[in-house]
Structure 1
Amino acid sequence: MNLSLQIKPFAFSLKRPLQTAQGILANKEGWLLKVTNSSGKCGWGEVSPIDSQEIKQCKTILDSISKCADRDVLEESITKGPGALGFGLGSALADLDEAMRSGPAQCWLPPPQSAILLRSGKSFLKDLESYLEHSYKRKEVLTFKLKVAIKPNDIERTMISKVLERLPMNYRLRLDANSGWDRCQALEWANYFLNDVRLEWIEQPLHTDDIKGLMDLAKIIPIALDESLIKYPALRKNWKSWQIRHPTLEGDPRVLLKSLQDGKTNIAISTAFETGIGRRWVNHLAAIQQTTQTPTAPGLAPGWLPSSNLFSHNPKIVWDTV
């Protein structure tokens, strides 16, 4: 099947820089894809890596793909580059297939309530108290996420203790170390939270390669893998604790979609700060995750993206905005 492939570059800045143990994320860039068949039906995709080296790899591969490509060529290209490229091509082809079956009115599920990603600066307590006050009025139970392994352990311990002083026992807390701790630091934190039911998990506390250390920690408290899953995709099959899955970074979304439809447990869906085209998939997969036996709040980072038509849920509006 011959298809027309159109590619548009995009870039945007987050509303505020996000500091992690691995650096600061302030901007995103990538490409929007539009795949059209001979009948005029189209599918939309997005390629938006976070790693700068992967951006170069994706550009090289996209430049090599013919503007009038055979479907088989696009399918084969899904696994020839970074996961972000696989997502872009796979999502566009899946979207095209759905358009051919169902027409333009496709069923994209809305997202469930997201975890709240708190700022790690001086205002984090003020933000926390504001969210708590609103949640009490609405009778909601919230999940909060904090980036850690940024400041010295004693400072972060004080910060976390202030959070726990305010956090009701039925609320949840996630800590994301982004591979920033060594084994001794991670064990200290594991023991700190040993009997606290509010801790949902600690995310990627150790280096991506320290699988043994991560497995040992998972015997003490819930440990969620993130970066390790990107580097070692085979772990997605056998890691029994939580998995943080970034659909727009990990490859063909049809694979993750089938896993969730089959009821795979202990998966948490998370944003990688994508446009509205990629976010449709993130939201949809997060909604399906709620139907599994381990539903949990997705990590959609509400309030971190700017207000723009680039983040519309209508792919044509996103496409025309670029």
Structure 2
Amino acid sequence: MVYRFNFYPYSRPFKQPLKTHHGIWEKREGIIIQLADERGKNGWGEIAPLSWFGSETLQEALEFCRKLPQTLTLEDILEIPDNFPACQFGFESAVTYPKTRFLKETGFLSQGFETGFLRELKFSGLLPSGKAALQVFQTLFQQGFRTFKWKIAVYPISDELDMFKQLTKLILETIISETDKTEWVNLRLDANGGLSWEEANKWLSVCDEIKSDILKIEYLEQPLSVEQFAEMLALSQQYFTSIALDESVATLSQIRDCYQRGWRGIFVIKPCIVGSPRKLRKLCRENHIDAVFSSVFETAVGRRAALNLASELSHPKRAVGFGVEHW
């Protein structure tokens, strides 16, 4: 199979800047790629790098695309190196899906691609950091969200713990006043690796103190830096509140490494930067990965491919982290 290749860079500003421990993010930049097969059938993919998570930079991805010939074979796509994970995802996602035995064996074909997602997905709504979360929670709750992610490690911990009390109080009051009291809310806290050892222990202690049938702290996400894997493994065994790895498992090689080093907890997987979709399928299925799939604020092109993977591979009882349209 031979494909005619084109690519189109894009830049889209956020409705409001996203504040995380990594800094302030004001616009999403990436590349839409087009692969047309010999019959003229177009396949679309997206390269959406996130370099501070460990993918290639946007500039590296652009240079990679500029150096490619105008025609590519399937073998060319399969040989994209692992140090270009966002490119791997984009090109494999753009491969049109002729139903050949070879493509089935390499993992390109998936039932959900042509017939719709394999199963219904529940979405987690992303709250802004700080007190702004209080107002946005009400809006997202009214829209039907019941799982939420809140960014922490942005403000001093004393301030954030006070905001956390306000947020959990609001959640409980909202459930009691606006539902039949049989519903519940899952809250995820995402530190982006920004807590100290002492702060991580404090957060986990506070989370463990919440005893409620209608509010669950689903997990604390990436409390410590990537270099502190052993410490996070120890924390996961000391508290009732679960810990999820995110920055530590940004790419396929990192997922393999953490699994081999003993992590059996939650893996937050950002498919648009993780690497090859076919290799990800194999890794998740062989090791029964407890996966939460999450957005990197990709366009509808990458989102479709990412959600297709999520419908196949994510934990069936966990919401996927794609409730970001309001950003």
Question: TM-score, normalised to structure 2's length?
Answer: 0.81
Gaps of 5+ in 1: 306-322
Q: Deviations over 1:178-221 (max 9, x none)?
A: 01011111111111112436110011110011111110111123
Taking the aligned partners of 1:190 and 1:260, their CA distance within structure 2 comes to 28
Deviations along 1:25-70, one digit per CA (max 9) or x if unpaired, are 1211111111122122232111111227611221222122111123
Count, aligned residues = 294
The aligned residue for residue 177 of structure 1 is 191
- Name the counterpart of 1:224: 244
Matches within 5 A, 1:22-171: 22-51=22-51, 54-77=57-80, 79-93=81-95, 95-97=96-98, 106-109=114-117, 112-132=121-141, 134=142, 142-168=146-172, 170-171=184-185
Provide the residue aligned with 2:178 in structure 1.
none
Cα offset for 1:265? Answer: 4.2
Across the aligned residues of Structure 1 and Structure 2, the Cα RMSD in angstroms comes to: 2.7
For 1:10, what is the secondary structure of its paired residue? strand
**Partner Cα separation in structure 1 for residue 304 and residue 99 of structure 2:** 14
- For 1:88, give the aligned amino acid: G
User: Aligned partners of 2:45 and 2:140: how far apart in 1?
Assistant: 34
CA distance in 1, matches of 2:325, 2:77: 35
- Unpaired stretches in structure 2, ≥5 consecutive residues: 104-108, 176-183
The range that moved more, 167-176 or 143-152, is 167-176
Task: Output one character per residue of 1:60-115: Cα deviation in whole Å (capped at 9) or x when no partner.
Answer: 221221111232122101x243211111111112x44469989xx92232862311
2:181 aligned partner:
none
Identity of aligned residues (%): 26
Counterpart Cα distance in 2 of 1:26 and 1:46: 19
Contact in 2 for aligned 1:116/1:144 (Cα 8 Å): yes
1:167 deviation in Å?
2.5
Structure-1 residue corresponding to 2:233 = 215
Letter in 2 for 1:89: F
Bigger shift: residues 256-265 or 270-279: 256-265
Name the SS of the counterpart of 1:282 in structure 2: helix
